[in-house]
Amino acid sequence: MSILANKDTYVVIQGGVAGVNAARRMAEFCYLIKRSLNVLAFVYPPDAGKTHEIPYGSGLVAVPIYKTVAEATKNHSQINTSLVYIGADRALKGGMEALDDSHIKVVSMITEGVPEKDAKILAHHATKLGKVFNGPSSIGIVSAGSCRLGVIGGAFDNLVLSKLYREGSFGVITKSGGLSNEIIWICSQFADGITTAIGIGGDTYPGTDYVSYLEMFENDPQTKAVVIVGEMGGDLEERAAEWYGAKKRRVKLMAVVSGFCQESLPKGMKFGHAGAKEGLKGEGSARAKSDALKKSGAIVPATFGALGPAIKEAYQEMLKSGQVKEPVEPLVLPKLPKTIEEAIKADEVMVAPLIRTTISDDRGDEPCYDGYPASELINKGYEIPHVVGLLWDKRLISKQEAEIIKRIMMLSADHGPCVSGALGTIIAACAGIGLSQSVAAGLIMIGPRFGGAVTDAGRFFKYAVDNKMSVDDFLAYMKKNHGPVPGIGHRVKSLRNPDKRVKELVGHVKSLNIKTPCLDFALEVEKITSVKKDNLILNVDGTMAAVLVDIGFPVDSLNGFFILSRTIGLIGHWVDQKRQDSRLIRLFDYLVNYAAPKRREVPPLK
Amino acid sequence: MAKVLEGPGMGLMKKWGITVPHYVVVTSVDELAKLGQANEWLKKSKLVVKAHEALGSRFKLGLVKVDLDLKGAEAAAKEMIGRQVGSITVSQVIVSEMIPHKEEYYCAVKSTREGTDILVANCGGIEVESNWDRVKRLAVEVGQQPSGDAIEKLAKDAGFTGPLLKKMADFAGKMFTCFDSEDAQYLEVNPVVLREQDSQLIALDAVTLLDGDAKFRHPDWNFAFAAEFGRAYSKHEMEVMAVDSKIKGSVKFIEIPGGDTAMLPAGGGASVYYSDAVVARGGKLANYAEYSGDPPDWAVEVLTDKVCSLPGIKNIIVGGAIANFTDVKKTFGGIINGFRKAKSEGKLKNVKIWVRRGGPREKEGLDAMRALKDEGFDINVFDRNTPLTDIVDKALQKQ
The residues of A annotated as belonging to the active site are 273
d(CA A26, CA A41): 13
Residue of A175, A266, A271 with shortest CB distance to B271: A271
Name every residue whose Cβ is closer than 8 Å to that of residue B209 and which is 6 or more positions away in sequence: B1, B2, B3, B4, B184, B185, B186, B187
pLDDT in tens, B267-285: 999 999 999 999 999 999 9
Which run of H or E residues covers position B140?
strand B136-141
Q: What is the pLDDT of residue B230?
A: 67
Rounded CA separation B286/B308 (Å): 11
Type and span of the H or E element at A286 = helix A286-295
User: A191, A169 in Cβ contact below 8 A?
Assistant: yes
Q: Out of A112, A176, A286, whose CB is closest to B267? A: A176
Whether B252 and A175 lie within 8 Å, measured CB to CB: no
Q: Are the CB atoms for B267 and B320 separated by under 8 Å? A: yes
Distance from CA of B122 to the nearest CA of A (A): 21
B53 pLDDT band, cuts 50/70/90, is confident
Sorting pLDDT into bands at 50, 70 and 90, what band is A522? very high
**What is the average pLDDT value for chain B, to the nearest integer?**
92
B10-49 residues touching A, CB cutoff 8 A:
none
State how far the Cα of B228 lies from the Cα of B213, in Å rounded to an integer.
16
Contact B285 A269 (CB under 8 A): no
Q: Does B279 touch chain A (CB under 8 A)?
A: yes
Q: What share of chain B is helix, strand, coil (3-state, %, to 5)?
A: 40, 25, 35
- Taking 80 as the threshold, does the pLDDT of residue B162 lie above it? yes
Window 97-126 of B: residues touching A by CB (8 A cutoff) are 111, 113, 115
Could you report the per-residue pLDDT of B304-344, keeping only the tens digit for each?
999 999 999 999 999 999 999 999 999 999 999 999 999 99
Check residue A276 and give its pLDDT.
72
Q: What is the pLDDT of residue B131?
A: 86
Is A155 in Cβ contact with B276 (below 8 Å)? no
Whether residue B280 lies within 8 A of chain A, CB to CB, comes out as yes
Question: Does B113 contact A120 at a Cβ distance shorter than 8 Å?
Answer: yes
Subunit contact B213:A269, Cβ cutoff 8 A: no
Q: pLDDT for A425-480, tens place per residue?
A: 999 999 999 999 999 999 999 988 888 889 999 999 999 999 999 999 999 999 99
Identify the band that residue B153 occupies on the pLDDT scale cut at 50, 70 and 90: very high
pLDDT at residue A217, rounded to an integer: 97
Would the pLDDT of A263 be above 90? no
- Identify the pLDDT of residue A279: 67
3-state class of B162 per DSSP?
helix
- Which residue in B178, B158, B214, B249 sits closest to B18, CA to CA? B178
Cβ <8 Å between A272 and B250: yes
Average pLDDT over residues A559-568: 95
**pLDDT (0 to 100) of residue B3:** 87
Q: E-assigned strands of A298-415?
A: 360-361, 368-369, 372-373
pLDDT at A282: 66
With beta carbons under 8 A apart, name residues in chain B contacting A312: none
Chain A positions touching B250 (Cβ under 8 A) are 112, 272
State pLDDT tens for residues A94-138: 999 999 999 999 999 999 999 999 999 999 999 999 999 999 999
**Which residue among A113, A125, A272 places its CB closest to the CB of B268?**
A272
Mean pLDDT of chain A: 94
Cα radius of gyration rounded to whole Å, chain B? 26
For B193-231, what is each residue's pLDDT tens digit? 999 888 899 999 889 999 999 999 999 999 888 877 767
What's the one-letter identity of residue A131? K
Q: Which of A388-402, A488-502, B3-17 has the lowest mean pLDDT?
A: A488-502
Which pLDDT value is given to residue B317? 97
B395 min Cα distance to partner chain A (Å): 15
What local confidence, expressed as pLDDT, does residue A58 receive? 92
- What is the distance between the alpha carbons of residues B399 and B34, in angstroms, rounded to a whole number? 60
The per-residue pLDDT for A140 is 95
Tell me: pLDDT of B185 over 60: yes
Diameter of chain B measured on Cα atoms: 81
- Return phi, psi of residue B51, to 5°: -65, 130
pLDDT digits (tens, 9 = 90+) for A347-364: 899 989 999 999 999 998
Question: Identity (one letter) of the amino acid at A238?
Answer: E
Is it the case that residue A401 has pLDDT exceeding 60?
Answer: yes
User: Which chain B residues are Cβ-neighbours of A194 within 8 angstroms?
Assistant: none
Of B256, B324, B358, the CB nearest to A139: B324
pTM of this prediction? 0.82
Q: Which of B205, B187, B165, B282 is nearest to B23 (CA)?
A: B205
Confidence of residue B60 (pLDDT cuts 50, 70, 90): confident
Output B49 or A492, whichever has higher pLDDT.
B49
How would residue B125 be classed by pLDDT, with cut points 50, 70 and 90?
confident
